[in-house]
Amino acid sequence: MSEAQENNKALVRRFLKELAEKGNFDVMNELLAEGFVDRNPTPGQGPTREDYKRSVEEILRTFSITNFTIEEQIAEGDTVVTKYTQSGFTRGELFGVALPEKEDTLEGIFIHRTSGGKISEEWRTLNVAPVWEDLAKEVRERERLEQDLRVARRIQQASLPKEVPEVEGWEISPYYQPAREVGGDFYDFHLLSEGRLGVVVGDATGKGVPAALVMSTTCGMLQLAAQSLESSSPGEVLERVNGALVGRIPSNMFVTCFYAIVDPKSGTLSYANAGHNLPYVRRSGGDAEELRARGMPLGLMPQMSYEEKEIELGAGEVALFYSDGLVEAHDPKGEMFGFPRLRALVAEHGKERSLADLLLEELYSFVGEGWEQEDDITLLTLRRVASLS
């Protein structure tokens, strides 16, 4: 082998090792010819030296090489063929796409053409096109998922009531805060005969479009059942909706739901529960009373019946309906907000501010700054202001 060929091998060897082992990007300015051509440019990049430099810098910042070994080199004329093995792991983003952390060992061949003591062309037999195709597929999948979430959010928002009904002698205050991911929370109001009001709070299991569709379907069925069974009780409404949902939603999904009918004149609240979180009533004496009633979630089993109960709210007393996004929130140490804390706050609630404001203030103090909301949060308070004469 001639001295020129040995020099070309040494040139290529130094170039590759400076980049792979030391991350020395300056070596590209030193050893690549002005007219350098990249014969395997990455998608979106041109073949020029500047394009090549940008691609290499981006790749080496993402793929951390832990070992680079030149297995064999062959020189023929001004061409050098290098067989190599490299090990390393991915980290961060590549061309704007987040990559999963994993370790790989790759084998490949570089072909370099030299001219005047510099590298003028490069080919790679380790074809990076499949990598870019996988990344492009991941981008498309992410865009599709984001589109699905936007659709689900629109479905969810469209199913919620546009306004809160005004009921003489009562204050009704809903609060709904969606999480980043779409959940199945919902609340609704049903205007019934004789001035009565149906109030419902529920949660469809799951996330994304399936949860939004089940939630929207359940809202419609509840509205229809309440209107078609004018003289019915909350238990009958839940029984009819359960029968309609069974077999019409995926077997791994169900809906928890608390349904109450308010008689504004008498102050009575009749209710039934389909596996939902137990509401609380803050009594004038300072106690927090649980509203218990037995019943399975909707859509799980056919021919279910639902226990019904009735209470009376006195002037100033308030009922709280809520979803599990509140009680299942975690602080930085992993502690859950929990039912005992919620019940104690309801019992301590005074008249100087709304119960929902108190709970949200306590929640944000509990979870601290930088909290990422884990689930949708729904609160609905029903307060009897005064008895009607």
Tens of pLDDT, residue by residue over 144-176, are 877 877 777 787 788 889 999 999 999 999 999
Kindly report, residue by residue over 90-100, the tens digit of the pLDDT: 776 665 556 66
pLDDT at 298: 96
- Rounded to two decimals, what is the model's pTM? 0.66
Mean pLDDT, the chain, rounded, equals: 88
Q: Which domains does the chain have, with CATH numbers?
A: 3-127 (3.10.450.50), 145-384 (3.60.40.10)
Q: What is the mean pLDDT of residues 35-55?
A: 90
Among the listed residues 223, 164, 215, 211, the one whose alpha carbon sits nearest the alpha carbon of residue 186:
215
At position 334, the amino acid (one-letter code) is G
Q: Is the pLDDT reported for residue 29 higher than 90?
A: yes
Among the listed residues 231, 230, 276, 233, the one whose alpha carbon sits nearest the alpha carbon of residue 255:
276
Measured CA to CA, the distance from residue 385 to residue 229 in angstroms comes to 29
Kindly report, residue by residue over 315-366, the tens digit of the pLDDT: 989 999 999 989 999 999 999 999 999 999 999 886 667 899 999 999 999 9
Q: What is the mean pLDDT of residues 62-67?
A: 85
